């Protein structure tokens, strides 16, 4: 089994995502970490954290990918993030709504592996 390295850059990016109340894009992370590491290293760290199930990706309606810290316990690994994301049209923030579980009906013989629900509107700060 392969072990993962905990570099200073990886730790700083994970801390940034853990402390953020909203999901962050690659470019936002790059701006907030200043000269910590180059953009390719940031992509690699984000991919590693997604694979380790510590953060998850959120595709916004405009095609931007944002990253958010997972809030589940690590007693068992899971690979789905079945909660709703809220995208604010005004400030462009994306927030995980962990208490809102999406519900849907799917025809027989379909196998759902991941759910990505994004609601768009105005967040409490902008409404």
pLDDT tens, position by position, 48-80: 999 998 999 998 888 899 999 987 555 444 445
Rg (CA), the chain: 16
DSSP 89-115: TTT--EEEETT--------TT------
Using the structure block, give the residue that is written with the tokens 């200073």. Answer: 8
**Rounded to two decimals, what is the model's pTM?**
0.79
What's the rounded Cα separation, in Å, for the pair 60 and 1?
34
Place of tokens 């380790």: 52
User: Which runs of consecutive H residues, i.e. helices, occur in the chain?
Assistant: 8-19, 26-32, 39-51
pLDDT number for residue 26 = 96
Task: State which residues of the chain have pLDDT below 70.
Answer: 1-5, 72-82
**Residue 26 DSSP class:** H
């Amino acid at each position: 089994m392969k072990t993962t390295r905990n570099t200073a850059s990886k730790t700083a990016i994970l801390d940034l995502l853990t402390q953020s109340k909203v999901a962050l894009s690659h470019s936002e992370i790059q701006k907030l970490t200043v000269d910590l590491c180059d953009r390719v290293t940031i992509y690699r760290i984000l991919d590693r954290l997604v694979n380790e199930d510590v953060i998850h990706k959120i595709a916004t309606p405009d095609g931007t990918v944002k990253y958010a810290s997972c809030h589940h316990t690590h007693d068992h690994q899971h690979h789905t993030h079945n909660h709703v994301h809220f995208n604010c049209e005004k400030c462009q923030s994306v927030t995980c709504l962990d208490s809102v579980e999406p519900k849907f009906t799917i025809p027989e013989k379909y196998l759902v592996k991941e759910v990505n629900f994004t609601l768009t509107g105005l967040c409490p700060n902008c409404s």
